[in-house]
Structure 1
Amino acid sequence: MSSTDESIRTLLLLMPRLVGRAKRAKIPDELAGMNLAPRHLSLFAYLLFDGPLGVNELAERLEVTPATVSLMVGELSRKGILERREDPADRRRAIITLADAHREAIDNWLARGARAWRVALEPLTDEQRKLFVQTLRAYEDAI
């Protein structure tokens, strides 16, 4: 078996475990019962790391349609997790942000994954980290 085949075998066995663990990640008590799932983490991460964003910007980053983001934002706004404000520069545009009441819980939820990535990535050189991220992106594109 080639080293490429052995790596593929290892990754095919590893990836379902990683996905399973991500899906089982405990939602913080403050957010329990709000029907949140790991799919919401990307939306939360963009708002936490990049600050308030418009629906179209979120859609582009999440690689979904603006209608999909609008539905998610509407649902999460009704639950008090997100806030939707009018853009003072363009009243037709909505600006989405995390509600202050839930910001810390969302930050803590994301921090678990960030700590795990830090453990995995810190021993690598900058070039190795760059190659790792490029490899994950190439896998995503190919799949």
Structure 2
Amino acid sequence: MSVQPDPAPPAPTPAHPEAEGTTLERAQRLTDVITRLRRALRSSIRTDYPWESLPMAQVELLQTLAAAPLRVGELAARQRLAPNTVSGLVGKLLDAGFVDRQPDPGDRRTARIALTEAGRRQLRDWQLAHERRLASALESLGETDREAVMNALPGLELLARALTTVDDRHP
């Protein structure tokens, strides 16, 4: 499997950090790279694994439910989506057999949505397909670039945590 080059040429790497531009310019570049990575991964997964047809919004719900069953309202809050949007997504996942409704021990009037075994398998298969795709792409990079990507992970994890903290303070 060959990795197609990105149509946009990479920006030159400056010799000095202060030459990278303003914080806003760096944020714009990071946004662009993240967007292209997500698009490339989404598109390549459909090409390399045509059986994978689950929309990203449904995958994200499965990922959230992997930790524990939740009410639709809780799912909506965690995904930052409208409850009626989440209800529609849950309906599709129910129809596919990937989730089911369980009684909520704390409130008999509501139900919690939980992954079924089929949902766990679907999520596991989806994650494995993405991991294989990313591993292949990483292997296509030179050692220096591969190390640069891996060395960026701790900072990206901190950035994700900082964004989550900002989101929690500003609903």
Report the TM range for the smaller structure's normalisation. 0.5 to 0.7
Superposed CA RMSD in Å reads: 3.6
Unaligned runs of 5+ in 2: 1-13, 135-145
- Bigger radius of gyration among the two: 2
- Find the aligned partners of 2:114 and 2:50 in 1 and give their Cα distance: 19
- Percent of pairs with identical residues: 30
Q: TM-score, normalised by structure 1?
A: 0.68
CA distance in 1, matches of 2:65, 2:28: 36
Structure 1 gaps of 5+ residues are none
CA distance in 2 between partners of 1:88 and 1:12 (Å): 42
SS in 2 for 1:83: strand
Cα deviation for residue 81 of structure 1 reads 1.4
1:99 matched to 2:126? The reply is no
Q: How far apart in 2 are the matches of 1:42 and 1:88?
A: 25
Letter of the 1:133 partner, please give it: A
Shift of 1:133: 2.1
Give the length in aligned residue pairs. Answer: 132
**Equivalent residue, structure 1, for 2:93:** 76
Q: TM-score, normalised by structure 2?
A: 0.59
Alpha-carbon distance in structure 1 between the residues aligned to 2:57 and 2:102: 23
Richer in strand (by share): 1
Decide which of 70, 78, 89 is 1:53's aligned counterpart: 70
What does residue range 1-143 of structure 1 map to in structure 2 within 5 Å?
2-4=19-21, 7=26, 10-11=29-30, 13-24=32-43, 25-26=45-46, 29=51, 32=52, 36-48=54-66, 50-113=67-130, 123=151, 128-134=155-161, 137=163
TM-fit CA distance, 1:9: 6.5
